[in-house]
Amino acid sequence: MLKKTIIAATALVASFVAFQPVEQAQARVNIGVHLGGPGYYGGYYGPGYVPAPVYVPAPVYVPAPYYAPRPRYYAPRVSYCTKARRKIRNRGYYKIRAIDCSGSRYTFHAKRGGVWYRLRVKARSGRIYKVTYL
């Protein structure tokens, strides 16, 4: 039954479409020749052409991040008494004895030319800064 109804509806629609009045198709072609505005180049481009100004937004102020000041650079300490002892030996001393190897200054007793000396050495630079007789 459903099949017959679908066939009848399809035939009815086809009959409406088939008997519609036919209109004659018309070809409409618009051909336009635009030569531009005044002058050879047209109205937009040419010797006097100036482009329109471009809007550029003002820069937004963003505060720079805070950076802590860098610490002062200190030369690394002469880490061991052996390094300070080597520097003293290179200066011509021998029989070197470490008395105090703590803090910012090292103290040594050393012999040079048959005489004993007390040597004070800076821990950071290894420089001998004070020499006294014993």
Q: What is the pLDDT of residues 29-88, one digit of tens each?
A: 767 665 555 555 555 566 667 777 888 888 888 777 777 677 776 666 556 788 889 899
The pLDDT value given to residue 79:
63
Confidence band for 18, pLDDT divided at 50, 70 and 90: low
The torsion angles phi and psi of 118, rounded to 5 degrees, stand at: -105, 125
The torsion angles phi and psi of 14, rounded to 5 degrees, stand at: -65, -35
Neighbour order of strands in the sheet with 94-100: 94-100, 105-112, 115-122, 128-133
Alpha carbons 131 and 134: distance in angstroms, whole number: 10
Consecutive H or E run containing 122: strand 115-122
Report whether pLDDT(17) > 70. no
Q: What is the pLDDT of residues 84-120, one digit of tens each?
A: 898 999 999 999 999 998 888 999 999 999 999 999 9
Confidence band for 22, pLDDT divided at 50, 70 and 90: low
Report whether pLDDT(7) > 70. yes
What is the residue extent of each domain of the chain? Answer: 81-133
Determine the average pLDDT of the residues in 14-43. 63
Report whether pLDDT(8) > 90. no
The pLDDT value given to residue 50:
72
Cβ-contact 94, 109 below 8 angstroms: no
Q: Is 52 exposed, middle or buried (0-12, 13-18, 19+ CB in 10 A)?
A: exposed
pTM above 0.85, yes or no: no
Alpha carbons 78 and 87: distance in angstroms, whole number: 10
The pLDDT value given to residue 48:
65
Alpha carbons 14 and 92: distance in angstroms, whole number: 123
